[in-house]
Structure 1
Amino acid sequence: MKLVILTGPHAVGKMTVGQALERRTGLRLFHNHESLEPLLHIFPDRPDIWGPLSDQFRWRVFDAFSQTDAAGLIFTYMWAFDAPEDRAYIERVRALFEGRGAPVYLVELAADRAVRLVRNRSENRLLHKPSKRDLRQSEALFCQLEGAHRLNSLPGEIDWPHYLRLDNTALSPEEAADRICGAFAL
């Protein structure tokens, strides 16, 4: 059992790289929007409701999955590095898996803003994330989050034993997955 966390800013390619990593390793992908999309549909203007419900659902998935004999899980998460509650959340997930003997690998993706704006409109993204299909609203959220939070770490901020920062601006999802697998012998 192992956990791979893919983090990075809006439209950096977390889900798409996760899909390539899933194909390559057989680890199961649980991308962040799988817990969000049904709730966003039901409670579109109520983050006070969908946020906690999504967190509860994710935690139940992590708890149940970490007790199986599966090879591992890939989880995508947009971590606001300036928000202590995001660090606490990730550390809690990490502690759960490590407490059950599973190594946890953190991959931080980074890409140029212009590339991410193009990726924000990609067919794969829009297929798997219905809430992103309103491109005007999605790009407004992209800009809002960019202005409100620091979505990539500072040098030396992450001190995990299994950590990789990967600039995937010019990499295909398969190339990024290859580099992740090489870095961690997955």
Structure 2
Amino acid sequence: MNLVFLYGPPAAGKYTIGRELASLTGLALFHNHLVVDSVAAVFPFGTPAFRRLREQFWMDVFEAACAEDRSLIFTFQPEGSVAPDFADRVRQMVTKAGGTILFVYLTLSHEEQVQRVANADRGKFGKLRSVDLLQSLQADFEACERAMPPPDLTIDTGTTEPSESAHRICALMRDHGLAR
């Protein structure tokens, strides 16, 4: 099982690039908001039950993917309601199963992020759309990003089109023997 772990701040293009990468590679896209939105339908974001169930769901999917040698793409936004060691535990699980995990950090300028956050299409998955809330959470997001494992690749999505980003990730996968 191999895992492409796309992470970055709100509006960095994780879902868009993940879709492009899934199209190029045939890998399943395990998009963060599939779980977040499902659990948040019952438990308010950040509550103990929400946090426990969200992480349990993520880890159960990774465990099953490892057991069935099913590679995938995962999108993730580091933030304070997620355990700081989450990414390291995912890496340990994947490598213990004989797989490889590639961390790809998607970044963009604050100005570009502010423009994108307000986009109506972000409402489809209940994503952050408030510039004021973004501003108030910015320090938390940045601290959580710094706690992530070092990326294998960093892409500035403010200057790189989604298709080019996906192709760069495919090249990284080939360099690690994970794709043709």
In which range does the TM-score fall when normalised by the shorter chain? 0.7 to 0.9
TM-score by length of 1: 0.82
**Pairwise CA distance, 1:68:** 1.3
The aligned runs of 1:44-83 (5 Å cut-off) are 44=44, 47-70=47-70, 72-80=71-79
Structure 1 residue 114 corresponds to structure 2 residue 111: yes
Aligned equivalent of 2:88 = 91
Over the matched positions of the two proteins, sequence identity in percent amounts to 30
The 8 Å contact of residues 37 and 131 in structure 1, kept in 2 or not, is answered as no
For 1:171, what is the secondary structure of its paired residue?
Answer: coil
State the distance in 1 between where 2:45 and 2:93 align: 31
**Pairwise CA distance, 1:98:** 0.8
State the distance in 1 between where 2:3 and 2:46 align: 30
**Pairwise CA distance, 1:69:** 3.6
Q: 1:84 to 1:145 in 2, by over 3 A?
A: same
Unmatched segments (≥5 aa) in structure 1? none
Residues 109-132 of structure 1 show CA distances to partners (whole Å, capped at 9, x for unaligned) of 1101121222223454322x1354
Q: 1:119 to 1:131 in 2, by over 3 A?
A: closer
State the distance in 1 between where 2:9 and 2:69 align: 31
Residues 140-183 of structure 1 show CA distances to partners (whole Å, capped at 9, x for unaligned) of 332222133425449xx8557xx111111122211110111112
For 1:42, what is the secondary structure of its paired residue?
Answer: coil
Out of 76, 96, 101, the residue aligned to residue 98 of structure 2 is: 101
The RMSD of aligned alpha carbons is 2.5
Unmatched segments (≥5 aa) in structure 2? none
The aligned runs of 1:127-166 (5 Å cut-off) are 127=124, 129-132=125-128, 135=129, 138-150=130-142, 152-153=145-146, 158-159=149-150, 163-166=152-155
TM-score by length of 2: 0.84
